[in-house]
Structure 1
Amino acid sequence: MKQQKLVDDINGMISERSSLATSGPEAQRHASAIRRKITIVGTRLDSLQSLVSKLPSKQPLTEKEMNRLKDMLANLRSKVNQMSSTLNFASRDSLLGPEIKPADAMNRASGLDNSGIVDEQDEGLEKLEETVISTKHIALAVNEELDLHTRLIDNLDQHVEVTDSRLQVMLILAVYLLSIMQPYLECVVLVVRDGL
């Protein structure tokens, strides 16, 4: 099943992510690729879920087969949700760093002199800068994705317009042919009626 292969690919990518730096453009690109694959699998699972619900009317299945399909989809959905939450948790930690309790912060600050506090603030600002840069990379990736979707929608819109204009031409042609053929059709009807 394609979805199972994608889930395995995502698991591999998440494992691979631990070997990369925790922040930086490469890690962000890797995380974006994982998110994209998770979204694709989620969409495909939704489609499969819809197909499975319509399946009994189209093709008779035993209850056992139906339950097996539903269990397989539920299992894949659970794995996808788990991978998504793992990725979100890891992303949160890489952006914000490990959670620091207020008491720990006070104890640390009391032991520092002014230069130590300034150094710590500088370090915090550097982390903030990294976060802003990685957010910028994410925004650029989202922008690229939106541009792609916009082009696809424009392309689809163009195809719809072409199909619509072709249908209008065919309709005009059909009306024209019907108007030309109408006297002949009336003659045929009269001949058939008179012949009977």
Structure 2
Amino acid sequence: MASSADSWVKEFNEASKLADDINARLGERSSLPPSGPETQRHLSAIRRKITILGTRLDSLENLLPKLPSRQPISEKELHRRQDMLVNLRSKSNQMASALNMSRFGNRSDLLGQDNKPVSEINRTTGLDNYGLVGLQRQIMKEQDEGLGKLEETVISTKHIALAVNEELDLHSRLLDSLDQDVDGTNSRLQRAQKRLAMLSKKAKSSCSCMCSLVMVIVLVILAVVIWALIKFL
């Protein structure tokens, strides 16, 4: 089973591949017409991918501080991954700026929500350093609560899957038992058919013997009658 740290690296590599794909799609804009349905679909696809990338970066950022508690890693490695995350987020922000989109506004469009969430700029307006720290803690708390609800959902889904698996096992055992009963009944039926065939054969044999005996008796009677006729005539 892969460790938490390895899982983080795997998710980061997937996010990097997604960033490369977005960058390549941005380079394809020059070959498209300035406007039109095709161009709009292309830009919409890029915006959705940038939003997905931002969501993955948020998840990686939330998981990064928890890695040392799950698997011991060096402080140097932790800083290296933080730098990797910062560089990738900077790249994501640059690509978002190229499309004049904000991460939060586009996420609202992607999820189809009517109410736009409050932007980070509006939330930090007028806050001093202590206020910013408190806001950051509040955001982290909200993210932890969201992850907690997601974990509860995953656990509930797991329990449902286990219950379904147990039900399938029960049905499988019942089907196996039914199959065994059918096999036993089929064997008994075959034995009964063999017995009937033997009885039928014996019956035919007995009938043949009786017919032969009757014919012999008839021949004897005929012989006696003929002998009597010859003697008295």
TM-score range, shorter chain: 0.3 to 0.5
Query: Looking at CA atoms only, which structure, 1 or 2, has the larger radius of gyration?
Result: 2
Q: Structure 1 length as normaliser, TM-score?
A: 0.46
Q: Structure 2 length as normaliser, TM-score?
A: 0.39
| Higher relative contact order, chain-length normalized (CA < 8 Å, sep 6+) | 1
